[in-house]
Every structure is written in C-alpha cells, then in structure tokens.
Structure 1
Amino acid sequence: MFVVGLTGGIGCGKSAVTGCFAALGVPIIDADVVAREVVEPGQPALQEIAGQFGTEALDASGALNRSWLREHIFTHPDAKTRLEAILHPRIRHAMRQKLTKVAAPYAIFSIPLLFETGQDSGVDRVLVVDCPVELQISRVTQRDQATLAQTQSIIDSQIDRASRLAMADDIIDNSGSLHDLPPIIEKLHEKYLKLAT
C-alpha cells in the first residue's frame, strides 16, 4: 500500500487539504482522530494515563480531562515525554491496523508531528501543507481563541518551517483561499495514483 504522509505546522490548513483528498475518495487515516480513539473510556491507554498522572487526569465521567492534562504538560515538561511514551506507540499501531483495511491505490496518513516523531520513515512520500508563520498565528488565535503566547509556544514545539519544507517531497502553499486548493490537490492525486501503481 502506497502511503503519503501529510503534515504541516498548526494552522497551515491540513484539515482543508485532507478534506479535498477525501472528496476524491482517498482514505485518510488521521493521527489526531486515532489519538482521541485510543484514550476513550475502557481503553488501556486511559488507565495507564490515570496510573501515571493520578485521578486528576480523568474528569467526573471517567473520560480524559484534556484541559487539566494540557495545563499539566505545559508546566511539567517531563510529563509530555511520559504521555507520549504511552500514546505514540498505540497511535502508530492503530493507524497501521486501519491501513490493513484500506482498499484503494493509496492512503494518506495525516500526522501533525510526522518529523518530530520519526514517522516520515514509515511513509512512501511526504506532503507538507505550508503557509507563512504570521498567517499560522492569525488563523490559530482566531480559530482556537488562543493567546499569542499559547500559539507561539505550539509553533515553537514543532519542527521549524525551513526544516519541514526541506524534508518534503511535495508542498502545498496554503496561504491563499480555500478555493485555490482543489485544482492543486487534483494534480497531486493524479501523481499519487501513478506512483502507487
């Protein structure tokens, strides 16, 4: 199975791009979606998180207390490493499992931290969705009601733009409007169909 790893900085428009590929019938396996699935109540990862971080990591209903965990990781850098050690192997395994059920010439792995987690070695081609940092900041602060400091800290925690672009096989410049995307994606889709056969 030919796999395209899609990545990009926060606010670059990865969801808009995967939406266009999905509209063309391309299966999308999204790391963010899988990350939510592996911490659902009853999943071993959730029990392990509660064991590592205490009951504060769970809300009153027994689900993951995301806001507490986000704050905890922000103030305890070692906690991020511990959380990733619980989640990343499970997310990778679940994504590979989903791939075995795909019946299409190629699939897209949408992974925001593709390079940071070393998963670029597990895909056949890397597609980077890109836009200038100023645009990332304005999109994220508007979309997530995030402060400038929060947004900047997320951008700083990701690989820098120049390095990301240097490691890309294909790049989509998403600094324009959403109407600009479909023709670009149709061209890439044709290219990936050829490469997959």
Structure 2
Amino acid sequence: MIIIGLTGGIGSGKSTVLEMFKGLGVETYIADVEAKRLMNTNPELITDIKKLIGEKAYIDQKLNRAFISNVVFNNKDTLTALNALVHPKVRSDFKNFIKKSSSKIIIYEAAILFESGSDKFCDYIVTVSANFEDKIKRIIKRDGVSKEQVLERMQHQLNDESKIRKSHFVVNNSNLSDTKIQVETIFNILVKLDKK
C-alpha cells in the first residue's frame, strides 16, 4: 500500500485533482472533512475544544464553526492549541481507515499537510499549484468573499514554493485537460512503484 499526501494552497484546485484520482480508482481520505466529523462526534475532543474555546464552540451539540473561526483567526496561539487537539485524533482515525482499506494507493488530502506534520506518514507528496490570480478568482467565486479576505486566509498557509520543494510530484492546475494528463501520469508512476 502506498500513502500519498495531496496538498496545495487555498484555491489551487486540490478537490478537482482529488476527484480525478478518485476516478482512477484511488481511495481517498479528506482530512478537513474527517476533522469536522470528529469535532462533532468525538466526546473527548468536544470536551477539550469547549475547555479551550468555551461553551459557545458548540450550539445544540453542533460545532459552531463561525464562532471558532472568529476566535482562532485572531489568535495564533489558540489556533495552534486547537490543531494540537484535532490533528492527533485525525491521524488515529486515518490509521483505522488504512487498516480497513484494501486499496493499493490511498490519498490523504490536507490543506495543511506540512504544517500539521502529516507529511511524515506519507510515502510520496503531490502538491497542486495554480497561478496566484487564478487562485484568488476561484476563492472569491466559490466562497463569496473579498480579495482582502482571501489574502488573509492565504497568510495562514505555507506558500506554494515551500510546498513544492518538499514534494515528489507537482500538478500545475491551470488548464483542466492538462491537469488530467498530469494526474494520469502520476498515477501510472505510482502504480509502477507499488509493484516494485
């Protein structure tokens, strides 16, 4: 089994690339989605988050994402502390996911793959990159936010250059048909590596 870390900055098109890999029969684990699920269902994690951020972190037993975002984006220490609670639970959940899987290739997709240290358990890393202006346009269109808000979000992530330096493969996602060819090429290389 080969574990691939898939990452890329906000607006790079990670989800598009992930869907392409899925279409080739690769099993996928989306860290952000699973983190939100665990933050809503894991009793120990819920208790710890309430201790850290306060009772307002949950409304009607559901994660109050707007409140939490507001708190952590204005306080880096709280964000670091929250990540220190969530990431170990996600890693443990991923280990269980691997145990149940019979897939030859699994993709672990995470926006903050390097920042969370999750790159350490991946065999290979794929970074999705895109033109800076394209990324901004995509996020504005997708989330209905201002350019200033997009730039603020980008400051919380490693830049593309840093990610690319630490990666084995890079997908330049500026043209969908080109992206598809790049994904298929990487997939074929991984299949060969798995057979070694």
Pick the TM interval, shorter chain: over 0.9
Cα offset, 1:185, TM superposition: 1.6
Cα offset, 1:141, TM superposition: 1.3
Looking at structure 1, the residues matched to 43 and 26 of structure 2 have their Cα atoms a distance apart, in angstroms, of 28
What SS does the corresponding residue of 1:172 show, helix, strand or coil? strand
- CA deviations on 1:102-131 (whole Å, 9 max, x unpaired) are 112111111111111222221111101001
Q: Which runs of at least 4 in structure 1 moved beyond 4 Å after TM superposition? A: none
Letter in 2 for 1:183: I
Letter in 1 for 2:16: A
Backbone CA RMSD of aligned residues: 1.4
CA contact (8 A) 2:40 2:61 kept: no
Q: TM-score, normalised by structure 2?
A: 0.94
Gaps of 5+ in 1: none
CA contact (8 A) 2:45 2:85 kept: yes
CA 103–41 in structure 1, closer or farther in 2 if over 3 Å, else same: closer
| Aligned residue runs from structure 1 range 124-143, under 5 A | 124-143=123-142
Show the counterpart of 1:181: 179
Looking at structure 1, the residues matched to 30 and 155 of structure 2 have their Cα atoms a distance apart, in angstroms, of 22
Q: TM-score, normalised by structure 1?
A: 0.93
1:162 equivalenced with 2:161 (yes/no):
yes
- CA deviations on 1:175-194 (whole Å, 9 max, x unpaired) are 12x33333322221111111
Gaps of 5+ in 2: none
Looking at structure 1, the residues matched to 120 and 42 of structure 2 have their Cα atoms a distance apart, in angstroms, of 31
CA 41–114 in structure 1, closer or farther in 2 if over 3 Å, else same: closer
Show the counterpart of 1:119: 118
Cα offset, 1:76, TM superposition: 2.3
Q: Percent identity?
A: 30
What SS does the corresponding residue of 1:159 show, helix, strand or coil? coil
